[in-house]
Amino acid sequence: MTDIALNEPATVTPSGPMIDPFGRHVSYLRVSVTDRCDFRCVYCMSEHMTFLPKRDLLSLEELDRLCSAFVSRGVRKLRITGGEPLVRKNILWLFQRLGRHLGTGALDELTVTTNGSQLARFAGDLHAAGVRRINVSLDTLDPAQFKAITRWGDFSTVMDGLDAADKAGLQVKINAVALKGVNEHEIEALMRFAHGRGYDLTLIETMPLGDIDGDRTDQYLPLSIVRARLLDRFTLEDIPYKTGGPARYVRVKETGGRLGFITPMTHNFCESCNRVRLTCTGTLYMCLGQEDAADLRTPLRASTSDAPLMRAIDEAITRKPKGHDFIIDRRTKTPAVQRHMSVTGG
């Protein structure tokens, strides 16, 4: 909490849509509400992480004010992520507050990306707050492998979470990071599992974000290879389906389900990038793969008026870069950016 009276409705200075120097309209905000997590996925974190001191975090009221400022500037889709968003204390309050923008029609969608560990507890309340679609990360169907990938996670808890999501009427999309030698032989099973339950499945290439304990070259599996292998057994029909994110979708004729590919490495999606990312300390990253960022916490706390904040947002959008320069190869030992995905929010 800050000493500013933030429970008052924020005075919004209207200043139009956010258009970057390349003509891209920013309409999607991802918010990492905590950098902490109850898992330690091998591609995301090292086992022993140093997390931000709690005093550096924006309060939930401040996050609401910031998100609402972005909604007033034309953000139509808000994704709450982390770290693990559902481990942040009282997080439901934020969903309930942000849900008001769905009611007014200012926001099209409020969604969450989660590891599923807390879903059994939260699914019903998320739906009641206005969430309709959720992304659940699941890289394997093998409980032992699940433990090996997440280090601290429990497979059956996530399965219970999926059951609760179904029961609550939440539409689920499964996200799986394709990992060489780890789950590459399970892609078909994951797809059949997801499609069998009526879920979309999206495959993701691992990105060089932050130091992890292992070598990323060992993990990296280009999705071009996965796609070519699937084509031996399945008919993949390109479809124009879009969720506002970077995935390119196909319809799998044999299962009837949708399969998405997020390919930042083999084919970047920067030309259509419509999003910016906010961290739990109020830092705005205009690109997942670049270090440049804007401090929104200082203008947020400087005044109960949103005018300084709006100016800071406008200035940040002028700095949105054309794209990222991810490389994973044996010669490039340092990650493209030092911060972990859990900081910027996936």
Encoded one letter per residue, x for contact with ligand SF4 by CB under 6 A and - for no contact, window 97-116 reads: ------------------x-
Q: What is the rounded CA–CA span in Å between residue 234 and residue 252?
A: 7
44 forms part of the interface with ligand SAM (CB under 6 A): yes
* Whether 82 contacts 74, CB under 8 Å: no
Residue with tokens 């920067």: 270
- Identify which of residues 178 and 250 has a Cβ nearer to ligand SAM in the complex: 178
Q: What is the rounded CA–CA span in Å between residue 319 and residue 20?
A: 8
Residues of span 71-90 touching ligand SAM by CB under 6 A:
81-82, 84
Number of residues in contact with ligand SF4, rule: CB under 6 A? 12
What is the number of alpha carbons within 13 Å of residue 174 lying toward its C-beta? Answer: 29
Extract the tokens encoding 337: 């950016």
Laid out side by side, the sheet with 236-238 consists of 236-238, 248-252, 258-262, 200-205, 171-178, 133-137, 109-114, 77-81, 28-32, 275-278, 283-285, 293-295
Give just the sign of the alpha carbon dihedral 98, 25, 284, 210.
positive
* Whether 209 contacts 336, CB under 8 Å: yes
Partner whose footprint covers residue 175, from ligand SAM, ligand SF4, none (CB < 5 to 8 Å by kind): ligand SAM
Q: How far is the CB of 84 from ligand SF4 (least distance, A)?
A: 5
Q: Tell me the window of 12-20, 76-84, 123-131, 324-332 that interacts with ligand SF4 (CB under 6 A).
A: 76-84
150 forms part of the interface with ligand SAM (CB under 6 A): no
246 forms part of the interface with ligand SAM (CB under 6 A): no
- Identify which of residues 115 and 274 has a Cβ nearer to ligand SAM in the complex: 115
Write out the H or E segment, with its range, that includes residue 278. strand 275-278
Number of residues in contact with ligand SAM, rule: CB under 6 A? 19
Find the binder of ligand SF4 among 10, 29, 37, 336 (CB under 6 A): 37
82 forms part of the interface with ligand SF4 (CB under 6 A): yes
202 forms part of the interface with ligand SAM (CB under 6 A): no
* Whether 202 contacts 262, CB under 8 Å: yes
Binding residues for ligand SAM, rule: CB under 6 A, are 37, 43-44, 81-82, 84, 113-115, 137, 175, 177, 204, 206-207, 209, 341-342, 346
Binding residues for ligand SF4, rule: CB under 6 A, are 37, 39-41, 44-45, 82-84, 115, 137, 342
